Structure 1
């Protein structure tokens, strides 16, 4: 079953209001009664900016989130996510007779100033603009692939693990000001560890991009977990995985570095569901507290 283990991480964050079209409102987590021959379902997960939700739907159901069609897995689960700046309310439709009005928890994000970044990566020279455009198209194409591997998504079962362990130096949603110039919001979690630290797959997936030197993100790998959910690993000093590799949790991806727009060695781990950015920290247990001895091993 997909949801049970992950659900434990999100109990405090859940704000779900299941609604039937005839006006009945159920309690959080309740299984709604059937209406006009269709059965409403239990929506679970993390209806928060950067969070994931999921539900098991009746056979043959069509499902939409805010008019966006969702893929129904063979085990009848659907998975969806909310972006960093998602509206406070979202509508999930299951078939013709069931709707859930979701209250999406809003988050506050911190502003971080970063000095010493190479100025050409803050304001790239004109001769680099075409390269940047090509690389963005390359990344978009890698994320646009629909990898239909429900066994991977079901295998996850809340068991995402940290790709590296170390000090968290940057968090999802924060906005960075590079050398005084406001940048785009940060969509990943940064883990500061020494250059060369091995990076391991946090869950099963297919490698859809493996590039050693992108302009902004340097050594970059994208690992598709299936049905639009993917992880990206940035600023790597070594890229070991290759496009087409099918990885299992704990398989080697590469090594931590400081390539691209980075001021020091760290891993920038990002996640996306379709075009929505997901907060990786909401899918893993708290970072283990590392001692000097464990860090050296």
Structure 2
């Protein structure tokens, strides 16, 4: 008889959880739809992701094909964004470069977010001397300006797009770690965590199945905001010659090449700069909307 009662209670609890999740999803979508800035940011991001996926298929020319007889041509029907100093089609290079610029941003945030989340979970859950050691390491990392730390890392590792990804991801670690640490410290005090411990669950199970899912919202918000910073920082490092190397069509490198022709052929720098600016704006708008929709303190 007890088994039947437990089964029924478990079924009721499961249905209640499903209903709560459905209600939360509906509330989230409603808040996002009402936020016009977030909708605009989402549309921008969707368009850029579309370019990321099928951009190279739409490119009318080979982005690496040098045609010196067609160099520095102004935008026209033949070359929508003109040609650079090597005669390469700028529109084609921007389409191909989307995979490099956007890919570096996502990879850097994934790298920094993964390590930062792990460190934050460990520090927040175990506390004591483990928390002290991790917190002091994070404090040291935060003592350096992010772009300066990235410059130092790339200078030590050497200029390349992979090293830029590592450098940008590295200075994203403390941001994720501090947010996750604070959220973990709040969640671990809840009664259901004590109940799970009483049932004999180990620390890994508690962190993976009971703590992490409940702190996912601030991680998602932080990731969306850091994507804008990561893309901008990666483009800045490539602009300085520490990231993508010629003839790579990465947007920051294209912007760097165009600065020498800013008066004679301003479109060389203008179009890559516009692409970077709009993408960063899209992530900032969408990130603000996510924060407003997911932050429980802003539900009312």
User: TM-score interval w.r.t. the shorter chain?
Assistant: under 0.3
Greater RCO, CA 8 A, separation 6+: 2
Whose strand fraction is larger, Structure 1's or Structure 2's?
A: 1
Question: TM-score, normalised on structure 1?
Answer: 0.24
- Return the index of the structure with the highest Cα Rg: 2
Whose helix fraction is larger, Structure 1's or Structure 2's?
A: 2
Question: TM-score, normalised on structure 2?
Answer: 0.24
